[in-house]
């Protein structure tokens, strides 16, 4: 069985999908299944889009797996041997006008209609798709993202002079403005991963919050950020999955996240869940962990148990089962 993993064009600030499926393909090799990575070489223009569809059409294998983002690429592929992974429908939430209409048809409606096999990373994304296109229900398999980082040795106490809070991601859905409001006046050290807006920098300065800002960092540096942190503050307003939760738990961080799907199901009882629209609840959760060392240790230990469900071996086996199902269904014998 030969698999071609089809990726979007590489951008240094967008590597989450690549990180997930690079590690899955490496695990596939251990399982004896050959995989090849093929990235879109064309820019996103009307001409580039047509060229990319033809390019992927000429580069098909026993299984074509569209790993995410470039959903429109399935329009040139054989649906009988193509898997489309949809991570989220964030474009339908945050785009407007003609851009939203283009997203709806090219990234969602036509790809979902043509596809026979769709995987999603959470029940949340599955339900969002079915709400818009009920006929898609029978095509969808939920396969969570795996933990892509190594698991650090267990440490229940880190050597920080002040409690160290980590924020990963600065897009609008990451809720950074409320996090800033919540941690004002708390005696902590803060690291923010991701590019801050001028307004956010001004607000941090106005509130006299000292912080370190890391932008476009490697996986190694990101893991070092987790290793240094006591708390991951991740009260996101919208996620397709929420991988930072697992990454933080693999590096001995207590996690604060949102009490909405999919973060609620992903973290379960291994994190403090808050209303992401309440800066008061976010602040209360940070203070709880700071003031209660036993709670912090409990969350770290529960986090270590939680990540076992998302091991690379476990998730890869789920994809292998789907691939074999596709081959079997299309075997004329």
Sheet order of strands, 189-193 included: 212-214, 189-193, 164-168, 231-234, 254-258, 272-274
SS3 (DSSP) at 141: strand
- Fold annotation for 164-310: Rossmann fold (3.40.50)
Alpha-carbon span 61 to 187, nearest angstrom: 56
CA-nearest of 23, 22, 32 to 1 is 32
pLDDT at position 90 is 85
The pLDDT of residue 333: 64
DSSP string of 230-274? SEEEE--S--SS-HHHHHHHHTT-EEEEESSTTHHHHHGGGSEEE
What pLDDT score was predicted for residue 44?
Answer: 85
Task: Flag residues of the chain having pLDDT under 70.
Answer: 12-14, 332-333
What pLDDT does 12 receive? Answer: 64
Q: Does residue 218 sit in helix, strand or coil? A: coil
What confidence tens digit (pLDDT) does each residue in 100-122 have? 999 999 999 999 999 999 999 99
Q: Check residue 312 and give its pLDDT.
A: 92
* Closest-CA residue to 282 (of 149, 208, 205, 179): 179
Contacts of 104 (CB under 8 A, 6+ apart): 91, 92
Taking the model in full, what pTM does it have? 0.88
Check residue 13 and give its pLDDT.
65
2-146+311-329 and 164-310: same fold? yes
The pLDDT assigned to 279 comes to 97
Q: Are 51 and 34 in contact (CB under 8 A)?
A: no
* Domains of the chain by residue range: 2-146+311-329, 164-310
Question: How many Å apart are CA 135 and CA 146, to the nearest integer?
Answer: 28
Strand order of the sheet with strand 63-66?
Answer: 34-39, 2-7, 63-66, 82-86, 117-120, 140-142
Cis preceding linkage at 262, omega within 30:
yes
Take residue 190 and report the two structure tokens written for it: 């803060």
CATH architecture of 2-146+311-329: 3-Layer(aba) Sandwich (3.40)
């Amino acid at each position: 069985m030969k698999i071609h993993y089809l990726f979007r064009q590489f951008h240094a600030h967008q590597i989450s999908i690549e990180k997930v499926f690079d590690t899955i393909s490496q695990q596939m090799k251990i399982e004896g299944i050959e995989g090849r990575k093929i990235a879109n070489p064309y820019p996103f223009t009307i001409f580039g889009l047509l060229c990319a569809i033809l390019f992927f059409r000429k580069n098909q294998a026993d299984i074509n797996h569209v790993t995410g983002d470039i959903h429109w690429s399935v329009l040139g592929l054989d649906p009988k041997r193509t898997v489309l992974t949809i991570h989220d429908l964030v474009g339908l939430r945050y785009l407007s006008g003609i851009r939203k209409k283009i997203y709806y048809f090219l990234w969602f409606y036509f790809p979902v209609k043509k596809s026979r096999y769709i995987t999603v990373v959470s029940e949340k994304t599955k339900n969002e798709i079915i709400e818009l296109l009920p006929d898609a229900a029978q095509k969808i398999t939920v396969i969570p993202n795996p933990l892509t980082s190594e698991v650090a040795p267990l440490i229940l106490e880190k050597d920080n002079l002040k409690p160290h809070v980590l924020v990963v991601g600065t897009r609008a859905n990451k809720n950074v403005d409320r996090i800033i409001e919540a941690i004002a006046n708390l005696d902590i050290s803060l690291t923010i991963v991701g590019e801050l807006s001028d307004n956010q920098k001004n607000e941090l300065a106005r509130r006299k919050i000292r912080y370190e800002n890391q932008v476009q960092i490697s996986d190694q540096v990101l893991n070092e950020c987790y290793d240094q942190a006591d708390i991951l503050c991740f009260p996101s307003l919208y996620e397709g999955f929420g991988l930072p939760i697992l990454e933080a738990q693999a590096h001995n961080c207590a996690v604060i996240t949102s009490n909405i799907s999919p973060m609620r199901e992903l973290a379960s009882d291994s994190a403090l869940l808050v209303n992401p629209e309440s800066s008061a609840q976010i602040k209360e959760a940070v203070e709880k962990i700071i003031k209660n060392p036993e709670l912090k240790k409990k969350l770290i230990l529960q986090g270590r148990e939680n990540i076992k469900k998302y091991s690379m071996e476990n998730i890869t086996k789920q994809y292998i089962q789907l691939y074999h199902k596709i081959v079997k269904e299309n075997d004329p014998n």
